[in-house]
A and B are shown apart, each in its own frame.
Chain A
Amino acid sequence: MLEQILALLPQVVFDGFILGFVYAMVALGYTMVYGVLELINFAHSEIFMIGAVVGVEVFRYLAPQVGNGFVLLFLALVLGGVVAGITAILVERFAYRPLRKRGTTNRLVPLITAIGVSFILQDLVRLVEGLWHNEFFLRMRTVQDLEGSVELFGGAIFAQTKSFILMGVSILMLLGLTYLVNRTKLGVAIRAVAQDLSTASLMGIDPDRIISRTFLIGGSLGGVAGVLFALQYTTITPYVGFLPGLKAFTAAVLGGIGNIPGAMLGGLVLGQLENFFGTYLPILTNGNFGTEYKDVVAFLILILILLLRPQGLLGQVVKEKV
Protein backbone atom coordinates (compact mmCIF):
# COMPACT_ATOMS: atom_id res chain seq x y z
CA MET A 1 0.00 0.00 0.00
CA LEU A 2 2.81 2.39 0.90
CA GLU A 3 4.46 1.78 -2.46
CA GLN A 4 1.24 2.62 -4.21
CA ILE A 5 0.88 5.80 -2.17
CA LEU A 6 4.42 6.93 -2.86
CA ALA A 7 4.13 6.22 -6.56
CA LEU A 8 1.12 8.50 -6.82
CA LEU A 9 2.43 11.21 -4.52
CA PRO A 10 4.11 13.53 -7.08
CA GLN A 11 0.93 13.62 -9.16
CA VAL A 12 -1.23 14.19 -6.09
CA VAL A 13 0.88 17.11 -4.92
CA PHE A 14 0.94 18.61 -8.41
CA ASP A 15 -2.83 18.40 -8.78
CA GLY A 16 -3.22 19.70 -5.25
CA PHE A 17 -1.43 22.87 -6.27
CA ILE A 18 -3.81 23.39 -9.19
CA LEU A 19 -6.78 23.35 -6.86
CA GLY A 20 -4.85 25.20 -4.15
CA PHE A 21 -3.97 28.17 -6.33
CA VAL A 22 -7.60 28.58 -7.39
CA TYR A 23 -8.68 28.55 -3.73
CA ALA A 24 -5.87 30.93 -2.81
CA MET A 25 -6.90 33.53 -5.38
CA VAL A 26 -10.57 33.35 -4.43
CA ALA A 27 -9.72 33.35 -0.72
CA LEU A 28 -7.91 36.67 -1.15
CA GLY A 29 -11.16 38.34 -2.17
CA TYR A 30 -12.86 37.11 0.99
CA THR A 31 -10.02 38.06 3.25
CA MET A 32 -9.45 41.54 1.80
CA VAL A 33 -13.10 42.51 2.04
CA TYR A 34 -13.27 41.08 5.54
CA GLY A 35 -10.16 43.09 6.37
CA VAL A 36 -11.73 46.43 5.50
CA LEU A 37 -15.40 45.82 6.35
CA GLU A 38 -15.52 42.79 8.65
CA LEU A 39 -18.07 41.49 6.18
CA ILE A 40 -18.16 37.95 4.88
CA ASN A 41 -18.98 38.68 1.27
CA PHE A 42 -20.68 35.45 0.26
CA ALA A 43 -21.43 36.96 -3.14
CA HIS A 44 -17.73 36.56 -3.90
CA SER A 45 -18.44 32.97 -5.05
CA GLU A 46 -20.56 34.46 -7.79
CA ILE A 47 -17.89 36.98 -8.76
CA PHE A 48 -15.67 33.95 -9.34
CA MET A 49 -18.45 32.28 -11.36
CA ILE A 50 -18.89 35.41 -13.50
CA GLY A 51 -15.17 35.31 -14.31
CA ALA A 52 -15.55 31.69 -15.40
CA VAL A 53 -18.59 32.49 -17.58
CA VAL A 54 -16.79 35.43 -19.21
CA GLY A 55 -13.88 33.06 -19.91
CA VAL A 56 -16.22 30.59 -21.62
CA GLU A 57 -17.84 33.32 -23.71
CA VAL A 58 -14.52 34.83 -24.77
CA PHE A 59 -13.35 31.41 -25.92
CA ARG A 60 -16.66 30.75 -27.67
CA TYR A 61 -16.68 33.99 -29.65
CA LEU A 62 -13.06 34.94 -30.11
CA ALA A 63 -11.44 31.54 -30.73
CA PRO A 64 -12.19 31.68 -34.48
CA GLN A 65 -10.83 35.23 -34.79
CA VAL A 66 -7.80 34.88 -32.56
CA GLY A 67 -5.51 32.23 -33.95
CA ASN A 68 -3.13 32.02 -31.03
CA GLY A 69 -4.45 30.18 -27.96
CA PHE A 70 -2.21 32.10 -25.58
CA VAL A 71 -3.41 35.46 -26.88
CA LEU A 72 -6.97 34.19 -26.56
CA LEU A 73 -6.38 33.15 -22.97
CA PHE A 74 -4.76 36.48 -22.19
CA LEU A 75 -7.85 38.29 -23.52
CA ALA A 76 -10.10 35.98 -21.49
CA LEU A 77 -8.10 36.63 -18.32
CA VAL A 78 -8.18 40.39 -18.79
CA LEU A 79 -11.89 40.51 -19.65
CA GLY A 80 -12.81 38.02 -16.93
CA GLY A 81 -10.86 40.04 -14.37
CA VAL A 82 -12.35 43.36 -15.49
CA VAL A 83 -15.97 42.19 -15.65
CA ALA A 84 -15.71 40.42 -12.30
CA GLY A 85 -13.98 43.44 -10.74
CA ILE A 86 -16.64 45.83 -11.97
CA THR A 87 -19.41 43.52 -10.79
CA ALA A 88 -17.79 43.44 -7.36
CA ILE A 89 -17.68 47.26 -7.29
CA LEU A 90 -21.36 47.46 -8.24
CA VAL A 91 -22.33 44.95 -5.56
CA GLU A 92 -20.53 47.04 -2.95
CA ARG A 93 -21.96 50.29 -4.26
CA PHE A 94 -25.59 49.24 -4.43
CA ALA A 95 -25.92 46.50 -1.82
CA TYR A 96 -23.41 47.05 0.99
CA ARG A 97 -22.73 50.79 0.97
CA PRO A 98 -26.36 51.85 1.51
CA LEU A 99 -26.49 49.58 4.56
CA ARG A 100 -23.27 51.03 5.87
CA LYS A 101 -24.52 54.60 5.42
CA ARG A 102 -27.63 53.81 7.42
CA GLY A 103 -25.36 52.83 10.25
CA THR A 104 -26.62 49.27 10.53
CA THR A 105 -24.81 47.81 13.50
CA ASN A 106 -26.33 44.35 13.23
CA ARG A 107 -23.67 42.26 11.52
CA LEU A 108 -26.25 39.77 10.29
CA VAL A 109 -27.90 42.30 8.00
CA PRO A 110 -25.00 42.69 5.54
CA LEU A 111 -24.36 38.96 5.76
CA ILE A 112 -27.93 38.13 4.71
CA THR A 113 -27.64 40.79 2.01
CA ALA A 114 -24.53 39.06 0.70
CA ILE A 115 -26.39 35.77 0.48
CA GLY A 116 -29.22 37.55 -1.33
CA VAL A 117 -26.82 39.15 -3.79
CA SER A 118 -25.39 35.70 -4.37
CA PHE A 119 -28.79 34.36 -5.49
CA ILE A 120 -29.44 37.42 -7.62
CA LEU A 121 -26.15 37.06 -9.48
CA GLN A 122 -26.63 33.31 -10.02
CA ASP A 123 -30.06 33.78 -11.52
CA LEU A 124 -29.05 36.85 -13.47
CA VAL A 125 -26.31 34.88 -15.20
CA ARG A 126 -28.72 31.99 -15.71
CA LEU A 127 -31.24 34.37 -17.29
CA VAL A 128 -28.66 36.01 -19.57
CA GLU A 129 -27.20 32.71 -20.68
CA GLY A 130 -30.67 31.26 -21.15
CA LEU A 131 -31.74 34.12 -23.39
CA TRP A 132 -28.43 34.15 -25.22
CA HIS A 133 -27.76 30.46 -25.83
CA ASN A 134 -30.94 28.73 -24.65
CA GLU A 135 -28.94 26.87 -22.03
CA PHE A 136 -26.89 27.59 -19.00
CA PHE A 137 -24.70 24.51 -18.94
CA LEU A 138 -21.59 25.86 -20.58
CA ARG A 139 -18.55 24.05 -21.82
CA MET A 140 -15.22 25.75 -22.27
CA ARG A 141 -14.15 25.48 -25.87
CA THR A 142 -10.87 23.60 -26.25
CA VAL A 143 -8.08 25.35 -28.09
CA GLN A 144 -5.27 23.24 -29.55
CA ASP A 145 -2.39 25.43 -28.30
CA LEU A 146 -3.46 25.00 -24.71
CA GLU A 147 -4.13 21.27 -24.79
CA GLY A 148 -0.56 20.03 -24.76
CA SER A 149 0.87 17.92 -21.97
CA VAL A 150 4.19 16.61 -20.74
CA GLU A 151 5.33 13.82 -18.49
CA LEU A 152 7.76 14.85 -15.80
CA PHE A 153 10.16 12.79 -13.65
CA GLY A 154 9.95 9.70 -15.80
CA GLY A 155 6.18 9.69 -15.94
CA ALA A 156 5.62 10.36 -12.24
CA ILE A 157 3.67 13.50 -13.10
CA PHE A 158 1.35 13.92 -16.03
CA ALA A 159 1.07 17.67 -16.48
CA GLN A 160 -1.09 19.63 -18.88
CA THR A 161 0.09 22.89 -20.41
CA LYS A 162 -2.92 24.64 -18.96
CA SER A 163 -2.05 23.50 -15.47
CA PHE A 164 1.30 25.22 -15.78
CA ILE A 165 -0.45 28.32 -17.08
CA LEU A 166 -2.86 28.23 -14.15
CA MET A 167 -0.04 28.01 -11.63
CA GLY A 168 2.12 30.58 -13.42
CA VAL A 169 -0.68 33.14 -13.68
CA SER A 170 -1.69 32.53 -10.07
CA ILE A 171 1.84 33.02 -8.80
CA LEU A 172 2.17 36.25 -10.81
CA MET A 173 -1.14 37.54 -9.44
CA LEU A 174 -0.22 36.64 -5.87
CA LEU A 175 3.18 38.34 -6.19
CA GLY A 176 1.55 41.37 -7.80
CA LEU A 177 -0.99 41.61 -5.01
CA THR A 178 1.70 41.26 -2.35
CA TYR A 179 3.62 44.10 -3.98
CA LEU A 180 0.52 46.25 -4.26
CA VAL A 181 -0.51 45.76 -0.65
CA ASN A 182 2.95 46.18 0.86
CA ARG A 183 4.70 48.67 -1.36
CA THR A 184 2.20 51.07 -2.91
CA LYS A 185 0.34 54.03 -1.52
CA LEU A 186 -2.98 52.34 -2.29
CA GLY A 187 -1.79 49.26 -0.40
CA VAL A 188 -0.85 51.26 2.68
CA ALA A 189 -4.22 53.02 2.51
CA ILE A 190 -6.06 49.68 2.28
CA ARG A 191 -4.21 48.41 5.34
CA ALA A 192 -4.86 51.66 7.21
CA VAL A 193 -8.60 51.45 6.49
CA ALA A 194 -8.58 47.79 7.54
CA GLN A 195 -6.94 48.63 10.85
CA ASP A 196 -8.95 51.70 11.77
CA LEU A 197 -11.45 53.15 9.32
CA SER A 198 -12.30 56.37 11.14
CA THR A 199 -8.69 57.26 11.91
CA ALA A 200 -7.85 56.56 8.26
CA SER A 201 -10.40 59.21 7.30
CA LEU A 202 -8.49 61.66 9.53
CA MET A 203 -5.49 61.07 7.24
CA GLY A 204 -7.46 62.43 4.29
CA ILE A 205 -8.34 58.96 3.00
CA ASP A 206 -11.84 58.59 1.57
CA PRO A 207 -12.81 55.20 3.05
CA ASP A 208 -15.54 54.61 0.44
CA ARG A 209 -13.01 54.95 -2.34
CA ILE A 210 -10.59 52.54 -0.70
CA ILE A 211 -13.37 50.05 0.01
CA SER A 212 -14.41 50.25 -3.63
CA ARG A 213 -10.82 49.62 -4.75
CA THR A 214 -10.61 46.66 -2.41
CA PHE A 215 -13.69 45.12 -4.01
CA LEU A 216 -12.17 45.80 -7.43
CA ILE A 217 -8.91 44.07 -6.57
CA GLY A 218 -10.53 41.10 -4.81
CA GLY A 219 -13.14 40.80 -7.56
CA SER A 220 -10.54 40.86 -10.35
CA LEU A 221 -8.49 38.17 -8.66
CA GLY A 222 -11.66 36.09 -8.26
CA GLY A 223 -12.53 36.67 -11.94
CA VAL A 224 -9.08 35.63 -13.13
CA ALA A 225 -9.32 32.56 -10.93
CA GLY A 226 -12.70 31.84 -12.55
CA VAL A 227 -11.25 31.95 -16.07
CA LEU A 228 -8.41 29.63 -15.05
CA PHE A 229 -10.92 27.33 -13.35
CA ALA A 230 -13.00 27.17 -16.55
CA LEU A 231 -9.90 26.37 -18.57
CA GLN A 232 -8.92 23.59 -16.21
CA TYR A 233 -12.26 22.00 -15.32
CA THR A 234 -14.24 23.03 -18.50
CA THR A 235 -17.85 22.59 -17.30
CA ILE A 236 -19.38 25.83 -16.04
CA THR A 237 -22.88 26.67 -14.78
CA PRO A 238 -24.24 29.71 -12.92
CA TYR A 239 -24.02 27.62 -9.76
CA VAL A 240 -20.43 26.54 -10.20
CA GLY A 241 -19.14 29.17 -7.77
CA PHE A 242 -20.83 27.82 -4.68
CA LEU A 243 -18.52 24.98 -3.66
CA PRO A 244 -15.16 26.51 -4.63
CA GLY A 245 -16.34 29.76 -3.06
CA LEU A 246 -17.27 28.07 0.19
CA LYS A 247 -13.96 26.27 0.24
CA ALA A 248 -12.03 29.44 -0.54
CA PHE A 249 -13.85 31.12 2.34
CA THR A 250 -12.80 28.20 4.52
CA ALA A 251 -9.24 28.65 3.26
CA ALA A 252 -9.37 32.32 4.27
CA VAL A 253 -10.51 31.34 7.77
CA LEU A 254 -7.89 28.62 7.93
CA GLY A 255 -5.15 31.13 7.09
CA GLY A 256 -6.57 33.72 9.49
CA ILE A 257 -9.40 35.84 8.10
CA GLY A 258 -8.20 39.32 7.16
CA ASN A 259 -4.63 38.11 6.71
CA ILE A 260 -3.43 38.19 3.10
CA PRO A 261 -0.48 35.74 3.23
CA GLY A 262 -2.78 33.59 5.38
CA ALA A 263 -5.37 33.36 2.60
CA MET A 264 -2.72 32.22 0.15
CA LEU A 265 -1.38 29.61 2.55
CA GLY A 266 -4.86 28.48 3.56
CA GLY A 267 -5.84 28.00 -0.09
CA LEU A 268 -2.79 25.90 -0.84
CA VAL A 269 -3.22 23.79 2.31
CA LEU A 270 -6.88 23.16 1.59
CA GLY A 271 -6.17 22.28 -2.05
CA GLN A 272 -3.56 19.77 -0.96
CA LEU A 273 -5.74 18.23 1.75
CA GLU A 274 -8.71 17.86 -0.55
CA ASN A 275 -6.72 16.35 -3.37
CA PHE A 276 -4.75 14.12 -1.03
CA PHE A 277 -7.84 12.50 0.43
CA GLY A 278 -9.59 12.46 -2.93
CA THR A 279 -6.89 10.14 -4.19
CA TYR A 280 -5.88 8.22 -1.10
CA LEU A 281 -9.09 7.60 0.83
CA PRO A 282 -10.09 4.59 -1.29
CA ILE A 283 -6.58 3.18 -0.99
CA LEU A 284 -6.24 3.81 2.73
CA THR A 285 -9.64 2.31 3.55
CA ASN A 286 -9.54 -0.57 1.09
CA GLY A 287 -12.31 1.03 -0.87
CA ASN A 288 -14.71 1.37 2.08
CA PHE A 289 -14.62 5.14 1.73
CA GLY A 290 -14.54 6.52 -1.78
CA THR A 291 -13.27 9.78 -3.18
CA GLU A 292 -16.59 11.42 -2.36
CA TYR A 293 -15.57 11.51 1.32
CA LYS A 294 -12.56 13.74 0.59
CA ASP A 295 -14.32 16.87 1.80
CA VAL A 296 -15.43 15.19 5.00
CA VAL A 297 -11.88 14.26 5.91
CA ALA A 298 -10.36 17.52 4.68
CA PHE A 299 -12.84 19.53 6.72
CA LEU A 300 -12.37 17.34 9.79
CA ILE A 301 -8.71 18.24 9.64
CA LEU A 302 -9.61 21.90 9.25
CA ILE A 303 -11.80 21.73 12.34
CA LEU A 304 -8.91 20.19 14.25
CA ILE A 305 -6.50 22.89 13.09
CA LEU A 306 -8.95 25.61 14.06
CA LEU A 307 -9.55 24.01 17.46
CA LEU A 308 -5.83 24.28 18.10
CA ARG A 309 -5.40 27.69 16.44
CA PRO A 310 -8.76 29.49 16.38
CA GLN A 311 -7.14 32.61 14.93
CA GLY A 312 -6.03 30.61 11.87
CA LEU A 313 -2.57 29.59 10.71
CA LEU A 314 -1.19 33.13 10.30
CA GLY A 315 -3.90 35.10 12.11
CA GLN A 316 -3.04 37.30 15.03
CA VAL A 317 -4.83 37.09 18.31
CA VAL A 318 -6.79 40.31 18.52
CA LYS A 319 -6.23 42.00 21.83
CA GLU A 320 -9.24 43.68 23.32
CA LYS A 321 -8.86 47.43 23.05
CA VAL A 322 -8.89 49.18 26.37
Chain B
Amino acid sequence: MSLLELKGVHTYYGHIHALKGISLHVEEGEIVTLIGSNGAGKSTTLRTISGLVKPRQGEVLFQGKAIHRLPPHQIVALGVGHVPEGRKIFPRLTVEENLEIGAYLEKDRKVVQERKEQVFALFPRLYERRGQKGGTLSGGEQQMLAIGRALMQNPRILLMDEPSMGLAPVLVDFIFETIQKLNREGKTILLVEQNARLALQIAHRGYVLATGEITLSGPAKALAENPEVQKAYLGEG
Protein backbone atom coordinates (compact mmCIF):
# COMPACT_ATOMS: atom_id res chain seq x y z
CA MET B 1 0.00 0.00 0.00
CA SER B 2 1.34 3.40 -0.95
CA LEU B 3 1.50 6.14 1.64
CA LEU B 4 -0.29 8.47 -0.75
CA GLU B 5 -2.12 7.64 -3.93
CA LEU B 6 -4.15 9.67 -6.41
CA LYS B 7 -6.45 7.81 -8.77
CA GLY B 8 -7.85 9.62 -11.80
CA VAL B 9 -8.29 12.94 -10.03
CA HIS B 10 -10.18 15.70 -11.84
CA THR B 11 -10.27 19.12 -10.22
CA TYR B 12 -11.99 22.26 -11.45
CA TYR B 13 -11.70 25.93 -10.60
CA GLY B 14 -15.10 27.14 -11.65
CA HIS B 15 -15.20 26.22 -15.33
CA ILE B 16 -11.47 25.67 -15.64
CA HIS B 17 -10.56 22.02 -15.82
CA ALA B 18 -7.30 22.21 -13.84
CA LEU B 19 -6.53 18.53 -13.28
CA LYS B 20 -7.55 16.07 -15.97
CA GLY B 21 -7.24 12.65 -14.41
CA ILE B 22 -4.08 12.72 -12.33
CA SER B 23 -2.84 9.39 -11.00
CA LEU B 24 0.31 9.14 -8.94
CA HIS B 25 1.66 7.48 -5.85
CA VAL B 26 4.22 8.26 -3.17
CA GLU B 27 5.87 5.53 -1.11
CA GLU B 28 7.04 5.82 2.48
CA GLY B 29 10.52 7.37 2.67
CA GLU B 30 10.59 8.78 -0.87
CA ILE B 31 11.15 12.22 -2.27
CA VAL B 32 8.84 12.49 -5.26
CA THR B 33 8.82 15.61 -7.37
CA LEU B 34 6.17 17.11 -9.61
CA ILE B 35 7.69 19.30 -12.29
CA GLY B 36 6.09 21.29 -15.06
CA SER B 37 5.62 24.82 -16.27
CA ASN B 38 3.45 27.53 -14.79
CA GLY B 39 -0.21 26.65 -14.72
CA ALA B 40 0.37 22.94 -15.38
CA GLY B 41 -1.58 22.04 -12.23
CA LYS B 42 1.25 21.34 -9.79
CA SER B 43 -0.09 23.48 -6.96
CA THR B 44 -3.63 22.34 -7.67
CA THR B 45 -2.49 18.76 -7.18
CA LEU B 46 -1.12 19.59 -3.73
CA ARG B 47 -4.19 21.68 -2.87
CA THR B 48 -6.41 18.76 -3.86
CA ILE B 49 -4.45 16.39 -1.63
CA SER B 50 -4.71 18.63 1.41
CA GLY B 51 -8.39 19.32 0.83
CA LEU B 52 -8.23 23.03 -0.01
CA VAL B 53 -9.99 22.20 -3.28
CA LYS B 54 -12.23 19.22 -3.80
CA PRO B 55 -11.83 16.89 -6.77
CA ARG B 56 -14.94 16.46 -8.88
CA GLN B 57 -13.94 12.95 -9.82
CA GLY B 58 -11.35 10.41 -8.71
CA GLU B 59 -9.88 9.45 -5.36
CA VAL B 60 -7.13 10.54 -3.01
CA LEU B 61 -5.98 7.75 -0.70
CA PHE B 62 -3.74 8.31 2.29
CA GLN B 63 -2.54 5.09 3.93
CA GLY B 64 -5.26 3.37 1.97
CA LYS B 65 -8.02 5.61 3.33
CA ALA B 66 -10.04 7.91 1.05
CA ILE B 67 -9.48 11.49 2.19
CA HIS B 68 -10.79 13.54 -0.73
CA ARG B 69 -14.08 14.36 0.96
CA LEU B 70 -12.55 15.46 4.26
CA PRO B 71 -12.03 19.12 5.18
CA PRO B 72 -8.38 20.31 5.35
CA HIS B 73 -8.15 20.33 9.15
CA GLN B 74 -9.06 16.64 9.29
CA ILE B 75 -6.58 15.75 6.55
CA VAL B 76 -3.84 17.52 8.51
CA ALA B 77 -4.79 15.49 11.57
CA LEU B 78 -4.06 12.28 9.61
CA GLY B 79 -0.49 13.41 9.01
CA VAL B 80 -0.43 15.41 5.79
CA GLY B 81 1.68 18.56 6.20
CA HIS B 82 1.47 21.27 3.54
CA VAL B 83 4.04 24.01 2.99
CA PRO B 84 1.94 26.24 0.75
CA GLU B 85 2.98 28.18 -2.31
CA GLY B 86 4.16 31.65 -1.38
CA ARG B 87 4.90 30.40 2.15
CA LYS B 88 1.71 31.90 3.62
CA ILE B 89 3.13 32.47 7.05
CA PHE B 90 0.90 34.45 9.42
CA PRO B 91 2.38 37.94 9.09
CA ARG B 92 1.10 39.37 12.38
CA LEU B 93 1.93 36.36 14.54
CA THR B 94 5.43 36.11 15.97
CA VAL B 95 7.80 33.44 14.69
CA GLU B 96 7.19 31.46 17.85
CA GLU B 97 3.40 31.80 17.55
CA ASN B 98 3.61 30.69 13.92
CA LEU B 99 5.40 27.55 15.04
CA GLU B 100 3.03 26.91 17.94
CA ILE B 101 -0.01 27.24 15.71
CA GLY B 102 1.61 24.59 13.50
CA ALA B 103 1.30 22.20 16.44
CA TYR B 104 -2.32 23.23 17.04
CA LEU B 105 -3.51 19.61 17.19
CA GLU B 106 -0.86 18.52 19.68
CA LYS B 107 -2.29 18.71 23.18
CA ASP B 108 0.89 17.91 25.10
CA ARG B 109 2.80 21.12 25.86
CA LYS B 110 6.01 19.16 26.38
CA VAL B 111 5.84 17.61 22.91
CA VAL B 112 5.21 21.06 21.39
CA GLN B 113 8.26 22.39 23.21
CA GLU B 114 10.41 19.48 21.98
CA ARG B 115 9.35 19.97 18.39
CA LYS B 116 10.01 23.67 18.64
CA GLU B 117 13.52 22.92 19.81
CA GLN B 118 14.01 20.51 16.89
CA VAL B 119 12.88 23.21 14.44
CA PHE B 120 15.19 25.76 16.07
CA ALA B 121 18.05 23.26 15.79
CA LEU B 122 17.28 22.84 12.10
CA PHE B 123 16.91 26.61 11.53
CA PRO B 124 18.93 28.52 14.17
CA ARG B 125 17.93 31.70 12.33
CA LEU B 126 14.35 31.24 13.48
CA TYR B 127 15.49 31.04 17.10
CA GLU B 128 17.19 34.42 16.73
CA ARG B 129 14.00 35.85 15.25
CA ARG B 130 11.52 34.04 17.51
CA GLY B 131 9.97 37.22 18.98
CA GLN B 132 9.64 38.99 15.63
CA LYS B 133 6.42 39.22 13.63
CA GLY B 134 6.39 36.78 10.73
CA GLY B 135 5.76 39.56 8.21
CA THR B 136 9.08 41.23 9.06
CA LEU B 137 11.17 38.20 8.03
CA SER B 138 13.14 37.98 4.80
CA GLY B 139 11.96 35.62 2.07
CA GLY B 140 14.42 32.90 3.06
CA GLU B 141 13.51 33.14 6.72
CA GLN B 142 9.83 32.99 5.82
CA GLN B 143 10.47 29.79 3.87
CA MET B 144 12.27 28.30 6.86
CA LEU B 145 9.34 29.30 9.04
CA ALA B 146 6.82 27.76 6.64
CA ILE B 147 8.77 24.49 6.64
CA GLY B 148 9.30 24.61 10.40
CA ARG B 149 5.61 25.31 10.95
CA ALA B 150 4.65 22.23 8.92
CA LEU B 151 7.25 20.12 10.78
CA MET B 152 5.59 21.15 14.06
CA GLN B 153 2.71 18.87 12.99
CA ASN B 154 5.15 15.97 12.77
CA PRO B 155 3.50 14.94 9.47
CA ARG B 156 3.79 11.53 7.81
CA ILE B 157 4.17 13.27 4.48
CA LEU B 158 5.28 16.79 3.67
CA LEU B 159 3.80 18.49 0.62
CA MET B 160 6.12 21.31 -0.44
CA ASP B 161 5.01 23.88 -2.97
CA GLU B 162 7.81 25.78 -4.71
CA PRO B 163 10.15 26.14 -1.72
CA SER B 164 12.78 27.79 -3.94
CA MET B 165 10.49 30.54 -5.23
CA GLY B 166 12.01 34.00 -5.03
CA LEU B 167 15.07 32.93 -3.05
CA ALA B 168 18.73 33.75 -3.68
CA PRO B 169 20.72 30.76 -5.05
CA VAL B 170 22.64 30.21 -1.81
CA LEU B 171 19.35 29.98 0.10
CA VAL B 172 17.85 27.67 -2.50
CA ASP B 173 20.80 25.32 -1.92
CA PHE B 174 20.29 25.50 1.82
CA ILE B 175 16.55 24.73 1.53
CA PHE B 176 17.22 21.78 -0.77
CA GLU B 177 19.89 20.43 1.56
CA THR B 178 17.36 20.70 4.37
CA ILE B 179 14.80 18.76 2.34
CA GLN B 180 17.34 15.99 1.77
CA LYS B 181 18.26 15.99 5.44
CA LEU B 182 14.60 15.68 6.46
CA ASN B 183 14.22 12.81 4.03
CA ARG B 184 17.29 11.02 5.39
CA GLU B 185 15.70 11.32 8.84
CA GLY B 186 12.68 9.49 7.46
CA LYS B 187 10.27 12.14 6.15
CA THR B 188 8.35 11.36 2.99
CA ILE B 189 8.21 14.38 0.70
CA LEU B 190 6.13 15.36 -2.31
CA LEU B 191 7.93 18.32 -3.84
CA VAL B 192 6.49 20.68 -6.44
CA GLU B 193 9.16 22.71 -8.17
CA GLN B 194 9.74 25.00 -11.12
CA ASN B 195 13.44 24.51 -10.65
CA ALA B 196 13.29 21.08 -12.29
CA ARG B 197 17.03 20.57 -12.38
CA LEU B 198 17.45 20.84 -8.61
CA ALA B 199 14.29 18.93 -7.90
CA LEU B 200 15.36 15.99 -10.05
CA GLN B 201 18.76 15.99 -8.37
CA ILE B 202 17.37 15.29 -4.92
CA ALA B 203 14.23 13.29 -5.78
CA HIS B 204 13.92 9.53 -6.12
CA ARG B 205 11.14 9.69 -8.67
CA GLY B 206 9.37 12.37 -10.63
CA TYR B 207 6.24 13.19 -12.60
CA VAL B 208 6.04 15.72 -15.40
CA LEU B 209 2.80 17.67 -15.50
CA ALA B 210 1.53 19.57 -18.55
CA THR B 211 -1.87 21.30 -18.73
CA GLY B 212 -3.40 19.15 -16.02
CA GLU B 213 -2.10 15.81 -17.21
CA ILE B 214 0.88 13.66 -16.35
CA THR B 215 2.93 13.32 -19.51
CA LEU B 216 5.97 11.47 -18.18
CA SER B 217 7.04 9.72 -15.03
CA GLY B 218 9.88 7.60 -13.77
CA PRO B 219 13.05 7.61 -11.70
CA ALA B 220 14.40 11.12 -11.27
CA LYS B 221 17.69 10.25 -12.98
CA ALA B 222 15.96 8.89 -16.06
CA LEU B 223 13.77 12.00 -16.29
CA ALA B 224 16.81 14.26 -15.99
CA GLU B 225 18.39 12.42 -18.93
CA ASN B 226 15.23 12.36 -21.03
CA PRO B 227 15.76 14.64 -24.09
CA GLU B 228 12.17 15.90 -24.02
CA VAL B 229 12.46 16.89 -20.37
CA GLN B 230 15.84 18.47 -21.00
CA LYS B 231 14.43 20.52 -23.83
CA ALA B 232 11.25 21.65 -22.14
CA TYR B 233 12.20 22.01 -18.48
CA LEU B 234 15.95 21.97 -18.09
CA GLY B 235 16.73 24.52 -20.78
CA GLU B 236 19.06 22.22 -22.69
CA GLY B 237 19.27 20.79 -26.23
Which residues from chain A sit less than 8 Å from chain B, CB to CB? 185, 188-189, 191-192, 195-196, 198-207
Given A202-B82, A206-B71, 5 more pairs with CB closer than 8 A:
A191-B92, A202-B84, A203-B153, A204-B77, A206-B73
| Contact A196:B73 (CB < 8 A) given known A188-B93, A189-B104, A203-B149 | no
- The answer to whether A196 and B76 touch across the interface, beta carbons within 8 angstroms, is no
Interface membership of B72, Cβ < 8 A: yes
- The answer to whether A202 and B76 touch across the interface, beta carbons within 8 angstroms, is yes
Please measure, in the bound complex, the distance between the C-alpha atom of A8 and the C-alpha atom of B199, giving whole angstroms.
Answer: 74
Please measure, in the bound complex, the distance between the C-alpha atom of A202 and the C-alpha atom of B77, giving whole angstroms.
Answer: 9
- The answer to whether B92 and A203 touch across the interface, beta carbons within 8 angstroms, is no
User: Contact residue range for chain B?
Assistant: 20 to 34
- The answer to whether B52 and A204 touch across the interface, beta carbons within 8 angstroms, is no
Across-interface contacts of A188 in B (CB, < 8 A): 93, 97, 100-101
Main DSSP-derived SS at the A contact region: helix
Please name the residue on chain A nearest to B47 by beta carbon. A198
Q: Which of B100-154 contact A (CB under 8 A)?
A: 100-102, 104-105, 149, 153
- The answer to whether A199 and B90 touch across the interface, beta carbons within 8 angstroms, is yes
Please measure, in the bound complex, the distance between the C-alpha atom of A195 and the C-alpha atom of B102, giving whole angstroms.
Answer: 14
- The answer to whether A203 and B102 touch across the interface, beta carbons within 8 angstroms, is yes
Please measure, in the bound complex, the distance between the C-alpha atom of A203 and the C-alpha atom of B77, giving whole angstroms.
Answer: 9
- The answer to whether B101 and A192 touch across the interface, beta carbons within 8 angstroms, is yes
A185, A195, A200, A206: which contacts B92 (Cβ < 8 A)? Answer: A195
Q: Looking at the assembled complex, report how far the CB atom of B68 sits from the nearest CB atom of chain A, in whole angstroms.
A: 15
A191, A195, A201: which contacts B73 (Cβ < 8 A)? Answer: A201
- The answer to whether B52 and A198 touch across the interface, beta carbons within 8 angstroms, is yes
| Contact A205:B84 (CB < 8 A) given known A188-B97, A189-B101, A192-B93 | no
- The answer to whether A204 and B105 touch across the interface, beta carbons within 8 angstroms, is yes
- The answer to whether B90 and A202 touch across the interface, beta carbons within 8 angstroms, is no
Interface membership of B88, Cβ < 8 A: yes
Q: Most chain-B CB neighbours within 10 Å: which of A185, A198, A201?
A: A201
Across-interface contacts of B77 in A (CB, < 8 A): 204
Q: Looking at the assembled complex, report how far the CB atom of B154 sits from the nearest CB atom of chain A, in whole angstroms.
A: 11
Please name the residue on chain B nearest to A208 by beta carbon. B71
- The answer to whether A204 and B104 touch across the interface, beta carbons within 8 angstroms, is yes
Please measure, in the bound complex, the distance between the C-alpha atom of A192 and the C-alpha atom of B153, giving whole angstroms.
Answer: 16
